[in-house]
Amino acid sequence: MELTFQTNCTGIDWQQFPAILKAVGLSYHDAEIHLKTYSISASIVFVFDVDQLIDLQNDVIKETE
């Protein structure tokens, strides 16, 4: 794994984000709500393996259709 950590919302696919959360069993809302919530959060970290967003508890999050 080639992990990179990102502490901002730049380049996140917010349209895909609810499906990613659903795939790992987390609660989810419309993409716009996640964008607003994460944009005003005091602390965020996104973890990528190369260029794919991952969940450290469940390894790589598979791309959703």
More confident residue, 24 or 14: 14
Domain ranges of the chain: 15-45
Note whether 31 and 22 are within 8 A (CB).
no
Residue 34 clears pLDDT 50, i.e. is over it = yes
More confident residue, 49 or 63: 49
- Find the angle CA(20)-CA(7)-CA(21) to the nearest 5 degrees: 10
Distance CA 42, CA 51 (A): 24
In this prediction, what percent of the chain has a pLDDT beyond 70? 83
pLDDT confidence tier of residue 64, bands split at 50, 70 and 90: very low
What is the CB neighbour count within 10 angstroms for residue 28? 16
pLDDT confidence tier of residue 1, bands split at 50, 70 and 90: confident
pLDDT at 23: 84
